[in-house]
Chains A and B, each alone.
Chain A
């Protein structure tokens, strides 16, 4: 049986931790050093779903951070089955960026499964996102997590959830 393979795109403002989240998910590593992504970085990872008797292979497109997509980024997103939205909990403005990006995606490619990661949860004293704000945006995205690429908190859970949502979506779509 060929495993299900899906393209997912990681989007969000610059330096929110997109590359770090993917690295944590794929290799279980974390680096404090910031190396800004130019263009897009491809990674793959297989997730086993023993209960479903299947493996889901994700081809992850870690897109360069931006608060608004240009033509180059829009091209990257074509054909994606799901989206990982990442914001930085210590910079409230990055949540605004998420809303804008989400809207652009919706307009260009229609609705698709997505999860929201409000990242850098380990930086508690610097946190700028109130519980109310988080709850409000979580309701809109349906699936939202406070994650930390540094400690690994909820990173696997969030991405695995997206893999499930895509399976769901595929099955429903036929």
Chain B
């Protein structure tokens, strides 16, 4: 049923007032045919028939006029906002523009807030993401700092552990030296015993020297720069040395000491002897130190390319917790400088790892302790070179061909005695002096075949003395033997330069060569 005419007419009035329709008719070339309604509000007043409507109404450009179309909310260049209806009619086309300003405004304000909200959301997301990044950056920076701090702590712990370790290691050979020196000095000691004491002392001294080298190695142990110094040596010799070093210490405490090598153990092996020695000294030193009653046993066996040395004692043993602590401290590469049983073990673990070996520990509190070290070693061929004797016996090459004289200038009496001893045995005549000025006078007077000069001696000093001698026309070799470091310039005053402690063997060979 139709609406009552009264209502239709009312709505019509209402709509026309609101929409202010403007209608125009164009032909197929967009030229104006006719127009109706108000045109001022949409900026199209004053258009004349035949004008190309695309000029005043550019939105017609490109618009096909063959189909009914509706375009909502077109904002024209003059800011009018229209809804456009296109109604084709027989090759011509009606275009109706309705004022859409009011609806547009209400949609605009809604859309505006929606879009602004979305933009804000986007920005918030970005901020949150950035904050998250910042936080994770902070966390990362913090963990890096923590890492550095832990690293610093570790290094400092390592340092103190290292110092504790070294003093421990030094003490054992030092104790042996002191003990044997005492023994040798006692009246009533047989010459055979004295000879044995001296041998042990020099071996311990050698070991101390090796330790000094090991200290330098150890400094670079963390950096992984340590190399094994492998060479052929006799296992039995090593065990004998250990026995010689440890047995008196054990005896002093009333402990028994036994060393035993399985027949399967190769005579000569290829391995790092110094480190193996360190390992054994550590293990044995600990065993003797902590055992109050009973004894210490050292055994060596050989199995599948692995040398197994076992040190067992009847000491107090190590609790499971302490064992774990020792192994953990080692694994973490840190740990306090533990006192007691743990320390020697930690050292041993480090060294054994270096030698690609393993350590096994079997102990219960109150039931003693057995530590086995398994180290891969190569059995050397029979008859290969073994260790060099510590104290050189005068050999063919060190005996002077004819009576020759050497002047020694050194204020260290022991040193003079030692050198004198060797040179004498090698057939040299000796002139000694403890003062460099006196040495100059003696040299010029007796014209020795060689001058052996300590640098840090009373008088003008070794370097000056050597220069004076040269100026005075002394042309024979002047050899420096000194504990101090010399600059190249200082060295140039001498024919040769030896740093204390020097190998007597080398020194003798060189002296012989120079006086030949």
Q: List residues 65-116 of chain B with CB under 8 A from any CB of chain A.
A: 69-77, 81, 100, 104, 107-108, 111-112, 115-116
Which chain B residues border A15 with CB–CB below 8 Å? 115, 119
B77–A43 touching, CB < 8 Å: yes
Which chain B residues border A34 with CB–CB below 8 Å? 112, 115-116, 119
Interface band, chain A? 20 to 34
B111–A42 touching, CB < 8 Å: no
Which chain A residues border B108 with CB–CB below 8 Å? 35-36, 38
| A72 to B: closest C-beta gap in Å | 6
Interface band, chain B? 20 to 34
B contacts with A: majority SS: mixed
A40–B73 touching, CB < 8 Å: yes
Which chain B residues border A171 with CB–CB below 8 Å? none
The reply on B122 being an interface residue by CB < 8 A is yes
A39-B74 in contact given A7-B62, A79-B62 (Cβ < 8 Å): yes
A42–B76 touching, CB < 8 Å: yes
The reply on B446 being an interface residue by CB < 8 A is no
Q: Which of B61, B64, B100 has the most CB of A within 10 A?
A: B61
Which chain A residues border B54 with CB–CB below 8 Å? 5
The reply on B58 being an interface residue by CB < 8 A is yes
A42-B115 in contact given A6-B62, A79-B62 (Cβ < 8 Å): no
Residue of A with least CB distance to B67: A78
Residue of B with least CB distance to A91: B122
Which chain A residues border B119 with CB–CB below 8 Å? 15, 34
A81-B75 in contact given A36-B111, A38-B111 (Cβ < 8 Å): no
Residue of A with least CB distance to B82: A39
B59–A59 touching, CB < 8 Å: yes
Bound Cα distance A76, B64 (Å): 12
Bound Cα distance A39, B81 (Å): 9
The reply on A75 being an interface residue by CB < 8 A is yes
Bound Cα distance A65, B71 (Å): 16
| A18 to B: closest C-beta gap in Å | 12
A79-B77 in contact given A14-B118, A15-B115, A36-B108 (Cβ < 8 Å): no
Residue of A with least CB distance to B74: A40
Bound Cα distance A5, B61 (Å): 8
Q: List residues 113-165 of chain A with CB under 8 A from any CB of chain B.
A: 126
A80-B62 in contact given A39-B75, A42-B76 (Cβ < 8 Å): yes
A42-B73 in contact given A59-B61, A79-B62 (Cβ < 8 Å): no
The reply on B63 being an interface residue by CB < 8 A is yes
The reply on A103 being an interface residue by CB < 8 A is no
Bound Cα distance A80, B111 (Å): 26
The reply on A29 being an interface residue by CB < 8 A is no
Which chain B residues border A61 with CB–CB below 8 Å? 59
| B61 to A: closest C-beta gap in Å | 5
| A97 to B: closest C-beta gap in Å | 12
A38–B115 touching, CB < 8 Å: no
A36-B75 in contact given A6-B61, A7-B61, A7-B62 (Cβ < 8 Å): no
Which chain A residues border B126 with CB–CB below 8 Å? 126
- Chain A 54-98, CB-CB to B under 8 Å as 1, else 0, gives 000001010011000000100110111100000000010000000
Q: List residues 1-50 of chain A with CB under 8 A from any CB of chain B.
A: 5-7, 14-15, 34-44
Which chain A residues border B112 with CB–CB below 8 Å? 34-36
Residue from A37, A42, A76, A81 within 8 A of B58 (CB atoms)? A42
A39–B62 touching, CB < 8 Å: no
| B187 to A: closest C-beta gap in Å | 92
Bound Cα distance A43, B70 (Å): 20
| A43 to B: closest C-beta gap in Å | 6
Which chain A residues border B116 with CB–CB below 8 Å? 34
Which chain B residues border A75 with CB–CB below 8 Å? 69-71
Bound Cα distance A55, B74 (Å): 26
- Chain B 31-72, CB-CB to A under 8 Å as 1, else 0, gives 000000000000000000000001000110111100001111
B115–A14 touching, CB < 8 Å: yes
Which chain B residues border A7 with CB–CB below 8 Å? 61-63
Residue of A with least CB distance to B52: A2
Bound Cα distance A4, B387 (Å): 105
Residue from B71, B73, B77 within 8 A of A38 (CB atoms)? B73
Can you name 21 A-B pairs with beta carbons within 8 Å? Answer: A5-B58, A7-B62, A14-B115, A15-B119, A34-B115, A34-B116, A37-B75, A38-B111, A39-B74, A39-B75, A39-B104, A40-B71, A40-B73, A41-B75, A42-B75, A59-B58, A65-B115, A75-B69, A78-B63, A78-B64, A79-B61
Rank and list the top 8 A-B pairs by shortest CB-CB distance, nearest first: A39-B73, A79-B62, A7-B62, A41-B75, A59-B58, A59-B61, A38-B108, A36-B112
Binding site for B on A (CB under 8 A): 5-7, 14-15, 34-44, 59, 61, 64-65, 72, 75-76, 78-81, 91, 126
Beyond A15-B119, A39-B73, 7 extra complex contacts between A and B, CB < 8 Å: A34-B115, A34-B119, A35-B108, A37-B75, A38-B104, A44-B58, A64-B111
